[in-house]
């Protein structure tokens, strides 16, 4: 069967991109990365893509007069690569509503908290300040409102005594690197259906208690 053609959008380090690259390196994995786009010319993730011989494009938002023309350039590049699914992986630009709607249910993001809790930046600091006992990561379909949308995969991570933001971030990141390839695989296998604001996964079975997907009804 043809593999799902994925474009990954990054702005920085690209460790989640690396997790997706590593998953796609298995010929049996149902997705392939057709393109990596960065809005930052010296993003570390670009070198990861180049090492894996994946085509890269830099589309620098600063060179565009407004968000709409930046989004249009992104959309053109995605079309040229015959992209079927967009994965945001540490992409630090807000996308316009029209672009998000155009890629509705064909664009996913990873966020380092258990959404809908702790949307936005500095999540680990805020988790610690709130005294939450659990945090984690979420892979979700993208909607116009930031960090909202149907949840595909969540992984819970316990907050431990003595944690600081860096230690917590490290443990959450290790889970992100498993959750993102899992979500991509489920979507590429055609097992994810979005009904309203809920993503349902068919044949989810009995997942490990810390990596839960929504079973179908
Ligand atoms: C990750 O924590 C991700 O959840 C968030 O941005 C960070 C990106 O890290 N959206 P990396 O560039 O994938 O290493």
pLDDT in tens, the chain (217 residues): 799 999 999 999 999 999 999 999 999 999 999 999 999 999 999 999 999 999 999 999 999 999 999 999 999 999 999 999 999 999 999 999 999 999 999 999 999 999 999 999 999 999 999 999 999 999 999 999 999 999 999 999 999 999 999 999 999 999 999 999 999 999 999 999 999 899 999 987 655 544 555 444 4
Q: Do residues 5 and 88 share a domain?
A: yes
Question: Distance from the CA of 126 to the center of ligand 1, in angstroms?
Answer: 17
Q: Do residues 216 and 114 share a domain?
A: yes
Q: Do residues 26 and 92 share a domain?
A: yes
Q: Do residues 93 and 13 share a domain?
A: yes
SS3 127: helix
Q: List pocket residues of ligand 1, CB cut-off 6 Å.
A: 12-17, 89-90, 110-112, 173, 176
d(CA 160, CA 149): 29
Looking at 49, 80, 103, the residue that finishes a domain is 103
SS3 201: strand
For ligand 1, what atom is nearest to the CA of residue 91? 10
Looking at 48, 79, 103, the residue that finishes a domain is 103
Q: Which domain holds residue 130?
A: 110-217
**Where residue 206 sits, what CATH number does that domain have?**
3.40.50.170
Q: Do residues 172 and 207 share a domain?
A: yes
Q: Do residues 20 and 98 share a domain?
A: yes
SS3 72: helix
d(CA 112, CA 114): 7
Which of 141, 144, 148, 143 lies closest to 192 in space, CA to CA?
Answer: 141
pLDDT at 217: 44
Question: Which protein residue's CA is at the shortest distance from atom 7 of ligand 1?
Answer: 90
pLDDT at 204: 72
Task: Give the residue, out of 11, 112, 113, 121, with the most ligand 1 atoms within 8 A of its beta carbon, to mutate for a pocket test.
Answer: 112
**Strands, sheet with 151-158, edge to edge from the N-terminal-most edge strand:** 56-58, 31-38, 4-10, 85-88, 107-111, 134-141, 151-158, 211-212
Looking at 103, 122, 141, the residue that finishes a domain is 103
Strand partners for 56: 36
Q: How far apart are the first and last CA of the chain?
A: 28
Q: Do residues 123 and 212 share a domain?
A: yes
Structure tokens at 39: 């809005």
| 195, HSE (Cβ side, Cα atoms, 13 Å) | 10
For ligand 1, what atom is nearest to the CA of residue 13? 12
Q: Do residues 174 and 142 share a domain?
A: yes
| Domains identified in the chain, total number | 2
- Look up tokens 């996308």; give the residue: 95
């Amino acid at each position: 069967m043809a593999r799902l053609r994925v474009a990954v959008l990054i702005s920085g380090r690209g460790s989640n991109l690396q997790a997706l690259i590593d998953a796609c390196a298995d010929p049996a994995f149902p997705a392939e990365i057709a393109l990596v786009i960065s809005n930052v010319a010296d993003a570390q993730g670009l070198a990861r893509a180049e090492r894996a011989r994946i085509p890269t494009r830099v589309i620098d938002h600063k060179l565009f007069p407004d968000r709409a023309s930046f989004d249009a350039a992104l959309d053109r590049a995605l079309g040229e690569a015959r992209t079927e699914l967009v994965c945001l992986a540490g992409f630090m630009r807000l996308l316009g509503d029209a672009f998000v709607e155009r890629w509705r249910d064909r664009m996913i993001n990873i966020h380092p908290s258990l959404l809908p809790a702790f949307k936005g930046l500095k999540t680990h600091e805020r988790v610690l300040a709130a005294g939450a006992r659990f945090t984690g990561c979420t892979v979700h379909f993208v909607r116009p409102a930031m960090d909202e949308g149907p949840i595909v995969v969540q992984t819970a991570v316990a907050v431990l005594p003595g944690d600081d933001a860096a230690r917590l971030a490290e443990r959450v990141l290790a889970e992100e690197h498993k959750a993102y390839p899992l979500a991509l695989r489920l979507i590429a296998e055609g097992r994810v259906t979005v009904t309203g604001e809920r993503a349902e996964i068919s044949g989810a079975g009995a997942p490990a208690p810390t990596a839960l997907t929504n079973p179908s009804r």
